[in-house]
Amino acid sequence: MRKARKAMGVCLGLLGTVAVWPGLAEATTFGQLASATFGLGGPGAAILQLLLICIVVWFSMYMATALNNGQAAALIKVTGTFTCLSIIVGLAWGLLKSICAFAGITF
């Protein structure tokens, strides 16, 4: 249950990022909103990337465990974790840059 709450917190944090993305202000229909959110370069693209990475990592770990190779499964898990963290850090950095640009702070 704790893991589910933690995952929900991460997803809600990413969805909060979606709410402040500049390209979403011009969307008038649901299709335009979905395209602006989950299209190339949109903030929702990171959610889809994380979802796909988690599915591939889970399946790879499942296969490695089924072949009695727990060490490889642990390595796959660590690699997937760092990959997801790098995507989140990149998204947070972009959000920080856009907030700073909005506030008139340049760096």
| pLDDT (mean) for 14-43 | 62
Mean pLDDT of 35-56: 82
C-alpha R_g of the chain: 17
Q: Of 37 and 15, which is predicted with more confidence?
A: 37
From the number of C-beta atoms within 10 Å of its C-beta (0-12, 13-18, 19+), residue 98 rates as: middle
> 95 Cβ partners below 8 Å, 6+ apart?
17, 20
Domain map (residue ranges) of the chain? 2-103
pTM, whole model, 2 decimals? 0.61
Q: What distances in angstroms separate CA 52 from CA 21, 22, 23, 99, 101, one per listed residue?
A: 22, 25, 24, 28, 31
Residue-level pLDDT at 99: 86
pLDDT for 12: 52
What pLDDT is recorded for position 84? 92
pLDDT digits (tens, 9 = 90+) for 51-92: 999 999 999 999 999 999 989 999 999 999 999 999 899 888
Would you state the pLDDT for residue 65? 92
Q: pLDDT confidence of 24, banded at 50, 70, 90?
A: low
**Does residue 99 contact residue 83 with C-beta atoms inside 8 Å?**
no
